[in-house]
């Protein structure tokens, strides 16, 4: 029994499988089976066994490419390996632990084919080489890499290219050159959404869609091209989210830290109430603070407060250790999403939106104190540093060959308070307070280290 005999495909996947077009693009939402289908097709080529595409006696040459080798480990690499028989693998070359570089594989006709794994991070030059039979792009490649691959045609061979992606970058060259290019007989484009995957339950679909904006839903659920521009936090509204806050004794209080020196160090104090609302009621935002100075400032702010937990970036291990030596509890936070298809900035923007948007009761679940201020010397005025960051946080844009595309990351700029909030957000387990008020209300005082 061949591993290919275990393949199950839904109707949209089968439509692509049964096409012999030179270019086949599967543009779909998350969890619709894009990468699985790419693995299926790559497996069929490695075995030289396909329902509609004929193969000659030449050994198979395949490239499988994705945004990075770290992504490869969790996406197209396992999708390919699932379709290979161990007894047919002639050799494996490893780039590093867990990350494959090449596989030599014995096809049904006894020829030895090769699949090479590639990363877009390698740049255009690394996509030059001998002719290929199949090139698989898992997620959108840069246009120059795509164009370079089209000269990989060996004499007398037809090159097949497959693209599996969710259009998270908006209306890029893929939209113009593939999606709209309906008159080209060499191009087959299939779009699909959650409802096209019969193995997704209604509960799973509801869970994935919960909290997504309408624009994000169009991309993530239906795989539609949307122009994601502008603010990362379009849900923010000063009239709704900003108010003077006094901490209540029944709240659980958490602390989150983003370290800095030339850039501001930021400390947030977040109170969580019975309804799981987050109240950012106090904080610190200051440049030129050494870690020992920061520790003393935190100790003064902690007076009269029972801190449930505190988090900071795990990359600042030495700073965390210094605070711990000062008997300030801090836990490191790893910057990962748990989903290789969603970048860190995409993930936390979505989570912020889930908490910040107006809920069914007409209120959001995050509130910010009006008194989180400092004097900005560059602008010569006092500002609310949290408000300033959330209102200026934008998605990055990249220009290539005169064309601007939206990037799945935040543009450079101050986001120290937002970083601190997201360290809390990704670590907090949703434990709402259970105790009744038993201590007097703690009054907010200005820290002497605050400007």
- What mean pLDDT do residues 357-379 have? 90
**pLDDT for residue 130:** 65
Distance CA 63, CA 410 (A): 31
- What mean pLDDT do residues 53-62 have? 94
**Cα–Cα separations (whole angstroms), residue 288 to 3, 261, 262:** 61, 5, 6
**pLDDT for residue 340:** 56
- Tell me if 356 sits within 8 A of 422, measured CB to CB: no
Indicate if the alpha-carbon torsion angle 189, 191, 197, 198 is positive or negative.
negative
b (16+ CB within 10 A) / e for 118-146: bbbeeeeeebeeeebbbbbbbbbbbbebb
**pLDDT for residue 439:** 43
The answer, yes or no, to whether residue 448 has pLDDT greater than 60, is: no
For residue 301, give the nearest of 283, 321, 280 by alpha carbon.
Answer: 283
* Coil, helix or strand at residue 157: coil
Determine which of 56-70, 162-176, 281-295 has the lowest per-residue pLDDT on average.
Answer: 162-176
* Residues ≥6 apart with Cβ < 8 Å to 298: 255, 257, 267, 284, 323, 328
Distance CA 329, CA 104 (A): 51
**pLDDT for residue 216:** 77
Q: Kindly report the average pLDDT of the chain as a whole number.
A: 87
Every domain range in the chain assigned CATH 3.40.50.300: 3-220
The answer, yes or no, to whether residue 128 has pLDDT greater than 50, is: yes
- Tell me if 283 sits within 8 A of 266, measured CB to CB: yes
Q: Please write the tens of the pLDDT for every residue from 136-150.
A: 999 999 888 998 887
The answer, yes or no, to whether residue 1 has pLDDT greater than 80, is: no
| CATH number corresponding to 238-427 | 3.30.420.280
- Tell me if 242 sits within 8 A of 356, measured CB to CB: no
- What mean pLDDT do residues 417-433 have? 88
Fold classification of 3-220 (topology level): Rossmann fold (3.40.50)
Q: Please write the tens of the pLDDT for every residue from 99-116.
A: 999 999 999 999 999 999
Percent of the chain at pLDDT above 70? 90
Every domain range in the chain assigned CATH 3.30.420.280: 238-427
Whole-structure pTM value: 0.56
- What mean pLDDT do residues 18-28 have? 95
Distance CA 389, CA 392 (A): 5
The distance from CA 375 to its chain's CA centroid, rounded to whole angstroms, is 34
- Tell me if 44 sits within 8 A of 24, measured CB to CB: no
- Between 156 and 47, the higher pLDDT residue: 47
Beta strand pairing status for 395-400 and 403-410?
A: antiparallel
Q: Rounded to 5, what percent of the chain is helix, strand, coil?
A: 30, 25, 45
**pLDDT for residue 242:** 92
Distance CA 247, CA 10 (A): 53
Distance CA 410, CA 233 (A): 11
Burial of 197 (0-12, 13-18, 19+ CB in 10 A): buried
Sheet of 278-286, strand order: 242-243, 366-369, 278-286, 265-272, 252-258, 307-313, 331-333
- Between 115 and 180, the higher pLDDT residue: 115
The distance from CA 162 to its chain's CA centroid, rounded to whole angstroms, is 23
Angle CA 122–36–102, to nearest 5: 40
Distance CA 282, CA 265 (A): 14
Q: Please write the tens of the pLDDT for every residue from 195-240.
A: 999 999 999 998 888 877 777 788 888 888 765 556 788 888 888 9
- What mean pLDDT do residues 309-319 have? 94
């Amino acid at each position: 029994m061949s591993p290919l005999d275990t393949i199950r495909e839904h109707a949209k996947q089968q439509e692509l499988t049964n096409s012999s077009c030179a270019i086949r693009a599967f543009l779909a939402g998350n969890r619709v089976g894009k990468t699985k289908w790419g693995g299926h097709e790559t497996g069929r080529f490695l075995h030289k066994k396909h329902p509609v595409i004929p193969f000659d006696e030449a050994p198979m040459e395949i490239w499988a490419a994705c945004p990075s080798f770290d992504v490869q480990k969790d996406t197209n690499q396992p999708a390919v390996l699932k379709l290979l028989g161990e007894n047919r693998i002639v050799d494996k070359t490893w780039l590093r632990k867990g990350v494959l570089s090449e596989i030599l594989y014995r096809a049904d006709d006894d020829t030895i084919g090769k699949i090479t794994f590639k990363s877009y991070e390698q740049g255009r030059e690394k996509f030059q080489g001998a002719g290929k039979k199949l090139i698989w792009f898992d997620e959108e490649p840069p246009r120059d890499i795509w164009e370079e691959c089209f000269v990989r045609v060996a004499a007398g061979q037809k090159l097949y290219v497959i693209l599996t992606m969710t259009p998270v970058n908006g209306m890029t060259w893929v939209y113009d050159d593939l999606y709209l290019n309906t008159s080209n007989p060499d191009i087959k484009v299939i779009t699909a959404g959650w409802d096209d995957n019969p193995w997704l339950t209604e509960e799973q679909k509801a869970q994935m869609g919960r909290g997504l904006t309408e624009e994000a839903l169009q991309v993530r659920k239906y795989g539609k091209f949307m122009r994601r521009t502008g603010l990362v936090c379009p849900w923010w509204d000063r009239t709704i989210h900003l108010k003077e806050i006094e901490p209540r004794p029944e709240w659980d209080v958490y602390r989150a830290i983003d370290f800095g020196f030339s850039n501001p160090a930021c400390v947030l104090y977040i109170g969580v109430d019975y309804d799981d609302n987050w109240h950012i009621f106090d904080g610190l935002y200051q440049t030129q603070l050494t870690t020992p100075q920061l520790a003393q400032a935190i100790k003064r702010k902690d007076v009269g407060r029972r801190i449930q937990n505190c988090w900071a970036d795990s990359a600042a291990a030495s700073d965390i250790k210094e605070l711990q030596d000062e008997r300030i509890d801090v836990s490191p936070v790893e910057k990962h999403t748990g989903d290789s298809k969603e970048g860190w900035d995409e993930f936390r923007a979505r989570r912020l939106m889930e908490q910040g948007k107006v809920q069914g009761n007409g209120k959001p679940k995050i509130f910010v104190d009006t008194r989180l201020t400092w004097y900005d010397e560059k602008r010569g005025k006092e500002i609310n540093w949290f408000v300033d960051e959330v209102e200026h946080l934008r998605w990055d844009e990249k220009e290539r060959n005169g064309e601007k595309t939206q990037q799945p990351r935040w543009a450079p700029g101050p986001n120290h308070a937002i970083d601190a909030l997201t360290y809390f957000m990704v670590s907090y387990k949703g434990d709402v307070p259970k105790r009744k008020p038993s201590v007097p209300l703690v009054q907010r005082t200005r820290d002497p280290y605050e400007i």
